[in-house]
Chain A
């Protein structure tokens, strides 16, 4: 009978000599590069004109980031070419991040509201007294 120890390495070493298409690699590279440039342009645009509005901008950033992550995992890490069940063992645990993120941020937001409501001193300290532009200092200026 076959010794199970071997089979893993054996099968894999030989059965995987298919893919790694150089064209796909470079295509992925261009996609990643273009997305990054788009992100950069959007950031600069927002910085100098205030457009697009922050919320829309952040939503776009998150979507673009997930797109980049997808390409890195699928193409560079070659996951797209693995057996479907293996993909599932990676993808299903990754879904745990949804509630991980949602619950944490939700409670972080709630914590801010609670402090603002019950700790007036904290609120006074961390809310702008007047619009910062009038002080002549740029936002985020060194002090």
Chain B
């Protein structure tokens, strides 16, 4: 592993962290494991119901609109944009963490701002997508889209779509709030006085996790 530690270091003897990691970061990691099981349970439920259905609507057809341009015949263009935004904001987040490591307050502020902006942009896109689907008649308990084979679909396509993307959106939203708080604390010089930016790192873990979940949501809902 890349960690620079003496090879004969005894990590488990007590009196220190066996992972050379402060407890808060450890708790964040294990919280994310827990949250992964929350999302996992949702996505696996979706898969289970889909496996127990004879047919299912075609995402390429459902998700083919783009704002302003309207009904393009390029499927998934808009959601790809959303994916790009989220990946981009993950990059700016790592850059903020890296700046924190270098104790570069200005850098942290700059990159946190970009990250927050990315998060808001993503939320905006999601709001547009939801509204658009809503106007097509889709909502919890209402599904206007037929199955790919032409039979009438159950409502579970939209039920799962809104529940899971909604739960993800809720995570993005809380991530943006956390990032805003981190930004304010940075600007006020809290971390500078502490001498380290570990809090930014923990917020970063959360933010990347949100991105990670999106990768799976994207595959499960839009591609498969």
Contacts and interface: CB of A to CB of B under 8 A. Distances in A.
Interface of A: 2, 4, 7-9, 11-13, 15-20, 22, 25-26, 28-29, 32-33, 36-37, 39-40, 43-44, 46-47, 58, 61-62, 65, 68-69, 72-73, 75-78, 80-87, 89-90, 93-94, 97, 100-101, 104-105, 107-109, 111-112, 115-116, 123, 125-128, 131-132, 135, 137-143
A7 B189 CA distance: 24
Contact of B4 (A18, A69, A72, A135): A18
Contacts of A15: 3-5, 20
Contacts of B148: 139-140
A33 B84 contact: yes
A13 B16 CA distance: 13
A113 B56 CA distance: 16
B3 A82 contact: yes
A60 B148 CA distance: 21
A72 B212 contact: yes
B94 A76 contact: yes
Contacts of A44: 60, 74-76
Given A13-B196, A83-B1, A112-B52, A76 B25 contact: no
Interface residues of B, number: 83
A142 B144 contact: yes
A90 B2 contact: no
B22 A9 contact: yes
Contacts of A127: 54, 149, 151
Nearest to B206: A77
B101 to A, nearest CB: 5
B155 interface: no
Contacts, number: 227
B54 A80 contact: no
Interface of A is mostly: helix
Residue among A22, A32, A105 with most chain B CB within 10 A: A32
Contacts of B22: 8-9, 11-13
A102 to B, nearest CB: 10
A40 B80 contact: yes
Contacts of B151: 125-128
B150 interface: yes
A57 to B, nearest CB: 8
A76 B90 contact: yes
Nearest to B211: A72
Query: Closest 8 A-B residue pairs measured CB to CB?
Result: A132-B150, A108-B51, A140-B61, A108-B48, A86-B19, A20-B98, A12-B22, A126-B54
A8 B27 CA distance: 12
Nearest to B77: A40
B136 A126 contact: no
B137 A19 contact: no
Given A40-B80, A84-B1, A104 B205 contact: no
